[in-house]
């Protein structure tokens, strides 16, 4: 049986999906630490172990409960052509950002991804980051779970790099943090995709307080 055509399509889809998680994607993710820099400044993160602990908790308690769930729901909505559902998910993201920095990140990265889509000949729009990511991935021949896995890994890679700069850590330490996060991502994704609209939530008080403190932090490398 000739499966060459199927293999080519599968490889192309996989590469398109991986492309969305690439650090080379010009969306500015490298400029945000999502509160990690403020946690370092407050003495809550001091070394590789505490950085890994912090980011693992953030993965499960923040990302999985909100943005990862939105990504899964938004991919399904885009594929169904449900514009009203897409708009509702995007509005949810905007109103649940707990500080101006976090809202800026969601809007700026989403807008930049929309511009990137236009630059490669696709239709882009100014959605928030998780909805924009779902928009970019919706027409790729892959499962919703695969999209969410790639989204989560892109986040983990960006946060590991932020830890290297903010703590600071060596490259080996950053890779060990990424290894630990990668092992946790499948469970986080499965949890996120099981959440319905009533269960999805964005409630991370300490992270919100740190993000607010970061807005006036005297010395900083990151925009959040």
Using an 8 Å Cβ cutoff, are 206 and 79 in contact?
no
Domain encompassing residue 135? 38-214
20: in domain: no
Residue 113, in any domain of the structure: yes
pLDDT tens-place string over residues 69-101? 999 999 999 999 999 999 999 999 999 999 999
Q: What is the pLDDT of residues 95-146, one digit of tens each?
A: 999 999 999 999 999 999 999 999 999 988 899 999 999 999 999 999 999 9
- Does residue 221 carry a pLDDT above 90? no
Residue 24: inside a domain, yes or no? Answer: no
How does the average pLDDT of the chain come out, rounded? 93
Query: Sign of the C-alpha dihedral, residues 28, 98, 63, 60?
Result: positive
Q: What is the pTM (predicted TM-score) of this model?
A: 0.94
- Kindly state whether residue 91 falls inside one of the protein's structural domains: yes
130 is a domain residue: yes
CATH number at residue 130: 1.10.4190.10
Residue 4 lies in a domain: no
* Residue 32 maps to a domain: no
Tell me if 224 sits within 8 A of 214, measured CB to CB: yes
pLDDT at 1 over 50: no
Task: Enumerate the H helices of 123-221 as residue ranges.
Answer: 129-137, 144-166, 171-194, 205-214
Which residues neighbour 1 within 8 Å (Cβ) at sequence distance 6 or greater?
Answer: none
Please report the pLDDT score of residue 215 as a whole number: 87
Nearest to 153 by CA among 27, 17, 16: 17
The two structure tokens encoding residue 128: 């928030």
Q: What local confidence, expressed as pLDDT, does residue 9 receive?
A: 56
pLDDT digits (tens, 9 = 90+) for 170-203: 999 999 999 999 999 999 999 999 999 999 999 9
SS3 27: coil
With respect to residue 209, please indicate whether it lies within any of the assigned structural domains: yes
Q: Please give the full DSSP string across 29-73, using - where no structure is assigned.
A: GGG--TTHHHHHHTTS--SHHHHHHHHHHHIIIIITTTHHHHHHH
6: which residues sit within 8 A by CB, 6+ positions away? none
- The domain tally of the chain equals 1
For residue 165, give every residue at least 6 positions away whose Cβ sits within 8 Å of its Cβ, in sequence order, or none: 221, 222
């Amino acid at each position: 049986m000739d499966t060459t055509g199927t293999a080519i399509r599968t490889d192309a889809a996989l590469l398109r999906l991986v492309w969305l998680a690439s650090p080379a994607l010009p969306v500015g993710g490298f400029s945000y630490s999502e509160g990690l820099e403020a946690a370092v400044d407050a003495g809550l993160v001091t070394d590789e172990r505490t950085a890994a602990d912090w980011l693992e908790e953030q993965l499960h308690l923040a990302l999985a409960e909100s943005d990862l769930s939105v990504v899964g729901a938004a991919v399904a909505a885009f594929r169904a052509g449900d514009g009203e559902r897409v708009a509702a998910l995007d509005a949810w993201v905007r109103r649940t950002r707990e500080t101006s920095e976090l809202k800026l990140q969601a809007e700026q990265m989403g807008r930049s991804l929309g511009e990137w889509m236009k630059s490669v000949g696709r239709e882009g729009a100014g959605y928030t980051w998780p909805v924009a990511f779902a928009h970019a991935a919706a027409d790729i021949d892959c499962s919703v779970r695969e999209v969410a896995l790639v989204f989560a890994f892109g986040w983990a890679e960006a946060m590991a790099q932020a830890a290297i700069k903010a703590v600071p850590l060596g490259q080996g330490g950053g890779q060990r943090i990424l290894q630990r996060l990668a092992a946790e991502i499948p469970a986080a994704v499965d949890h996120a995709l099981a959440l319905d609209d009533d269960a999805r939530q964005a409630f991370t008080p300490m992270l919100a307080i740190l993000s607010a403190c970061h807005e006036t932090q005297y010395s900083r490398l990151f925009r959040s």
